[in-house]
Amino acid sequence: MWWENERTGRGGGTSAATVTGRDGVLADLRGTRPLELRWPARDVLVLSGLPGGGKSTLLARVAADPGHVCRMDSQDVRESWQRRWPYPLVRPLVRVHHYLRLRRAVRSASGSVAVHDCGQLPWVRRWLGWEAARAGRRLHLLLLDVTREEALAGQRARRREVSGYAFRRHVRAMAVLRAELLAGRIPAGCASAVLLDRPAAAAVRRLLFVEPDRVERGSGL
């Protein structure tokens, strides 16, 4: 991966910086203003974070022709089922449907794949990493690290709140994943990881998938 960013200095000013990342790199970009984040074409990106934290907003900034990036959001599957059935009744089927779509996309999509995932289940990342490797791709993690208050406010703003029990499970899972990243460990199945806070995520203009020889140079765009 490759990105440009402005890091806020102690004196309140900003200084431009260019950072180059490779497989095995864990980048903590909290407190920065990353303008663009880039990964190699055909790879798989997983966006994780608390419900209401802004994953869907960030996913919408994936900048590429739809033929080159397949966007996978579990909410799309949920809404398609909810038109016919109450969600609590079909929740297991929604999840199975979503995972089948993910597998098909990772195995057969002609371009890159960007996945909206809550990150609550570590086995999903390991499974996606395995599927990506089988397809000759790499899996990258982008964790949106927000407070529970920010996430709850986001849920209220979108008028789509999760239950207290489910939200507590998400909070615990994100705390474990965040601690793993802060300890310098990239989760199993992932080739790289990026950590953003809410201001950093708000500054991102585009998430890009580019040819490998352009990932680090940042040229030609």
Residue ranges per domain, the chain?
A: 27-210
Q: Which residue from 145, 121, 185 is spatially nearest to 49, judged by alpha carbons?
A: 145
Q: Which residue from 199, 190, 217, 41 is spatially nearest to 130, judged by alpha carbons?
A: 190
The predicted pLDDT at position 5 comes to 59
Under-50 pLDDT residues of the chain: 8-21, 218-221
Residue with tokens 């990036």: 69
Residue with tokens 């802060």: 182
- The CATH number for 27-210, chosen from 3.30.1360.30, 3.30.9.10, 3.40.50.11820, 3.40.50.300, is 3.40.50.300
The predicted pLDDT at position 132 comes to 95
The predicted pLDDT at position 142 comes to 94
User: Is 51 within 8 Å of 148 (Cβ atoms)?
Assistant: no
- Reduce the DSSP state of residue 124 to 3 states and report it: helix
The predicted pLDDT at position 213 comes to 62
| Cα-Cα end-to-end distance for the chain | 15
The predicted pLDDT at position 166 comes to 82
- Where does residue 220 fall: left (phi above 0), alpha (psi -120 to 50 degrees), or beta otherwise? left
The predicted pLDDT at position 63 comes to 64
**pLDDT digits 0-9 by tens, 119-149:** 778 888 899 999 999 999 999 999 999 988 9
Enter the tokens of residue 200: 């950093």
* This prediction's pTM: 0.85
The predicted pLDDT at position 219 comes to 34
The predicted pLDDT at position 62 comes to 81
Distance between CA atoms of residues 168 and 119, nearest Å: 13
